[in-house]
Amino acid sequence: MKMQMTQTLRRSWLLIALAAICTMPAWPQNASQAAAKKPDPRAELVKKMPGSKLSDFRPSPLPGIFEYARGADVIYLSADGKYAFDGDLYDLATENNLSETRRREARLALIGQVPEAQMVVFGAKDAKHTITVFTDIDCGYCRKLHSEMPEYNKLGIRVRYLYYPRMGPDSEGWDKAQAVACATNKTDAMTRAKRGESVKSGKCNASSIVQRDYELGQEIGLRGTPAIILEDGELLAGYVPPAMLIRRLEPPAAQR
Which of 167, 116, 169, 173 is CA-nearest to residue 143? 173
Known active-site residue 142:
yes
Which residue among the candidates 103, 107, 138, 142 is catalytic per the annotation?
A: 142
Q: Are 219 and 71 in contact (CB under 8 A)?
A: yes
Which residue among the candidates 103, 143, 166, 182 is catalytic per the annotation?
A: 166
Known active-site residue 136:
yes
Which residue among the candidates 42, 104, 107, 136 is catalytic per the annotation?
A: 136
Which residue among the candidates 42, 139, 158, 182 is catalytic per the annotation?
A: 139
- CA 132 from centre of chain: 14
The burial class, CB within 10 Å (0-12 / 13-18 / 19+), for 108 is middle
CA distance 233 to 229: 6
Beta strand segments in the chain, E: 57-59, 65-70, 73-78, 84-85, 90-91, 96-97, 120-122, 129-135, 157-163, 227-229, 235-237
**Residues annotated as part of the active site:** 136, 139, 142, 166
